[in-house]
């Protein structure tokens, strides 16, 4: 089998800025060879069995030389692998993609280029600085910052670009900032020209330092602004304060711990990111199939005996239908059953399988389910409850007290995870987490287990719970619960965080 290499631009740092084709390449790759500045969240999009190879490419600290990387690409492709060379920004914009493809072409290795969003235009855009603007700039140039010192034998035509282009964007130029500004002034650019240095552009760590060609060097030193950063020179910089939008997001720069399972974390990550936060994903639980499927098999053969099918989570829905499909069955098997979903997310999961929930309690809790089912009149009715081994016993007891006959079937297991133990400890001890989100009692128990019951580190952060049942589990574990979402959903949890930080900013 012939292999192939895709040179994929990962974008400037924000994982949401990768192209759709780039994401598709990641999802089908056998091998991913990635650089230092690639957002590690993108690696969650790859197949479990894919091989991940980190090659560094950090300034003055390369794990592999360019020659070794070239050889690695050839070797993996010759093994018949689909290889993604994941590069920050765009592979052909000062990314040495041309050198890598020259080697592939010479070796007869099939390849494709998947362009990416370059930091040269996206970092200024996220800072509210357009590289062109009618009346201010009708041209721009992208220039490497590595060729700015006289000793390096610069190939940059400083005498032409200094005054011949309206907006200048230098990438990888922090180390040579003094030399760049001096060259521009020497070649005719006014020392009062506005400039901005944008560090970690497009990410929640973004920092913008403004100045002029004459004073940006001391300003950068004073603010300790280092790599990775983009330097933008020109009148368009004046628009930063008027047009900045990213830094004004309510959760901008907040580091928020996401404790859900890996399979479910991305939904919360995405919503937090949209509000400007930096989600720190450390799953504290994992979802696995039930150890014995005998009971499930038996239940499927007796579905006609039940009146209601009750789902208390998205996981319950997915596990139940996965088992149904394993037996060559589909949603038609549920004919005659009424279906109750604990919340909108669970109801949405059901719709994927063609099932519209008959009942969705307004209060997404066990109490809400009991209140609604009481009105439905379930006395003498048989209810089937597919759930995990950690189901809330109060719900089962409450249903029984209403006169229902409840059969509980374990359709999946919720288990603790240890893999992020050292990372979460370090972040919490250093006080580098602003808020912790808990979306279920199992995430509470999982995180406490990771920390070996040392809750004092957790109480340094703001603790946000999705609902009262989760909050009760946190309180029982001696955690200080700072916030309970008004709406017991992921969207409700983020909305509550946004409201909290907006109020804090107004003080």
Q: What is the mean pLDDT of the chain?
A: 90
Domain identity same for 212 and 156: yes
% residues pLDDT > 90 (the chain): 62
Q: What span, in angstroms and rounded, lies between the C-alpha atoms of 346 and 223?
A: 47
- Higher local confidence (pLDDT), 365 or 130: 130
Q: What is the pLDDT of residue 288?
A: 86
Known catalytic residues?
A: 35, 57, 172
Beta strand 382-387 with 405-410 is parallel
Question: Do both 53 and 126 map to the same domain?
Answer: no
* Same domain flag for 269 and 347: no
Select from 415, 450, 469 the last residue of a domain. Answer: 415
Residues 219 and 260 in one domain: no
Q: Which helix (H) or strand (E) holds 492?
A: helix 490-506
The average pLDDT across 348-362 equals 91
Same domain, 125 and 239: yes
Mean pLDDT of 181-188: 96
Q: Are residue 404 and residue 383 in the same domain, yes or no?
A: yes
Residues 312, 395 contacting (CB under 8 angstroms): yes
Q: Which CA distances in Å does 72 have to 31, 52, 100, 309, 377?
A: 11, 12, 11, 54, 67
Question: 277: pLDDT confidence band, cut at 50, 70 and 90?
Answer: very high
Q: Whole-angstrom Cα distance, residue 226 to residue 229? A: 7
Residue 130 shares a structural domain with residue 215: yes
Does 401 have pLDDT greater than 70? yes
Q: Output 152 or 396, whichever has higher pLDDT.
A: 396
438-450 pLDDT tens trace? 998 889 988 888 8
Question: What pLDDT is stored for residue 148 in this prediction?
Answer: 42
The pLDDT, as a whole number, for residue 154 is 77
Name the pLDDT band for 151 (thresholds 50, 70, 90): low
412-423 pLDDT, tens digit each: 988 887 776 777
- Domain boundary, last residue among 395, 415, 435: 415
Q: Is the pLDDT of residue 150 over 60?
A: no
Domain-ending residue, one of 224, 248, 272: 248
- CATH number, residue 133: 3.30.950.10
Q: Are residues 10 and 80 in the same domain?
A: yes
Residues in the chain: 507
Q: pTM of the entire structure?
A: 0.80
Q: What is the CATH number of the domain that holds 313?
A: 3.40.50.10090
Q: Decide if 380 contacts 308 (C-beta within 8 A).
A: no
Same domain membership, residue 242 and residue 125: yes
Domain count, the chain: 4
Flag the least confident range among 194-208, 234-248, 271-285, 363-377. Answer: 363-377
- The Cα–Cα gap between 406 and 384 comes to 6
Range of the domain at 12: 4-117
Listing DSSP states for 78-108 in one string gives HTT-EEEEEESB-TTSSSSHHHHHHHHHHTT
* 265 neighbors 258 (Cβ within 8 angstroms): yes
Residue 149: predicted pLDDT: 47
**What CATH number does residue 63 fall under?**
3.40.1010.10
176 and 162: one domain?
yes
Could you report the per-residue pLDDT of 219-253, keeping only the tens digit for each?
999 999 999 999 999 999 999 999 999 999 999 99
Pairing between β-strand 308-311 and β-strand 278-281 as defined by DSSP bridges: unpaired
pLDDT tens-digit readout, 86-97: 999 999 999 899
pLDDT at 59: 56
Residues 74, 112: one domain? yes
- pLDDT tens by residue, 421-433: 777 878 888 888 9
**Domain check: are 85 and 132 in the same one?**
no
């Amino acid at each position: 089998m012939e292999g192939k290499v895709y040179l994929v631009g990962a974008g400037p740092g924000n994982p949401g800025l990768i192209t759709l084709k780039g994401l598709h390449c990641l999802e089908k790759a056998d091998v991913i060879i990635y650089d230092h500045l690639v957002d590690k969240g993108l690696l969650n999009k790859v197949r479990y069995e894919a091989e991940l190879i980190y090659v560094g490419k950090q300034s003055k600290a390369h794990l592999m030389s360019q020659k070794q990387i070239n050889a690695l690409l050839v070797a993996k492709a010759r093994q018949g692998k689909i290889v993604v060379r994941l590069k920050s920004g765009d592979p052909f914009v000062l990314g040495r993609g041309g050198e890598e493809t020259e080697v592939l072409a010479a070796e007869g290795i099939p390849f494709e280029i998947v362009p990416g969003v370059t930091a040269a235009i996206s970092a200024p855009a996220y800072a509210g600085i357009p590289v062109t603007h009618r009346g201010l700039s009708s041209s721009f140039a992208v220039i490497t910052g590595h060729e700015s010192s006289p000793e390096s034998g610069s190939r940059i035509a400083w005498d032409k670009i200094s005054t011949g282009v309206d907006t200048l964007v230098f990438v990888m130029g922090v180390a040579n900032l003094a030399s760049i500004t001096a060259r521009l002034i020497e070649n005719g650019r006014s020392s009062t020209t506005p400039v901005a240095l944008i560090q970690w552009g497009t990410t929640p760590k973004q920092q913008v330092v403004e100045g002029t060609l004459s004073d940006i060097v001391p300003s950068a030193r004073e603010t300790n602004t280092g790599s990775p950063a983009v330097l933008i020179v020109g009148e368009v910089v004046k628009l930063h304060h008027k047009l900045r939008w990213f830094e004004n997001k309510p959760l901008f720069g907040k580091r928020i711990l996401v404790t859900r399972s890996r399979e479910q974390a991305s939904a919360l990550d995405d919503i937090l990111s949209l509000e400007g936060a930096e989600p720190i994903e450390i799953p504290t639980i994992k979802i696995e199939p039930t150890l014995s499927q005998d009971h499930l098999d038996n239940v499927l053969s007796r579905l006609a005996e039940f009146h209601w099918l009750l789902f208390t989570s998205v996981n319950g829905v997915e596990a139940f239908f996965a088992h149904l499909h394993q037996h060559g069955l589909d949603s038609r098997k549920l004919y005659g059953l009424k279906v109750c979903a604990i919340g909108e997310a669970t109801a949405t999961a059901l719709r994927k399988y063609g099932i519209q929930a008959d009942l969705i309690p307004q209060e997404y809790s066990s109490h809400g389910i009991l209140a609604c089912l009481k009105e439905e009149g379930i006395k003498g009715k048989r209810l089937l409850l597919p759930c995990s081994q950690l189901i809330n016993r109060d719900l089962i007891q409450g249903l029984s007290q209403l006169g229902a006959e409840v059969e509980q079937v374990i359709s999946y297991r919720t288990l603790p995870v240890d893999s992020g133990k050292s990372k979460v400890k370090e972040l919490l001890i250093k006080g580098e987490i602003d808020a912790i989100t808990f979306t279920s009692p199992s995430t509470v128990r999982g995180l406490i287990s990771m920390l070996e019951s040392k809750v004092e580190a957790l109480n340094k952060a703001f603790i946000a719970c999705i609902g009262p049942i989760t909050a009760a589990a946190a309180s029982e574990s001696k955690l200080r619960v700072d916030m309970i979402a008004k709406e017991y959903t992921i969207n409700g949890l983020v909305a509550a965080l946004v409201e909290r930080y907006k109020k804090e900013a107004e003080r």
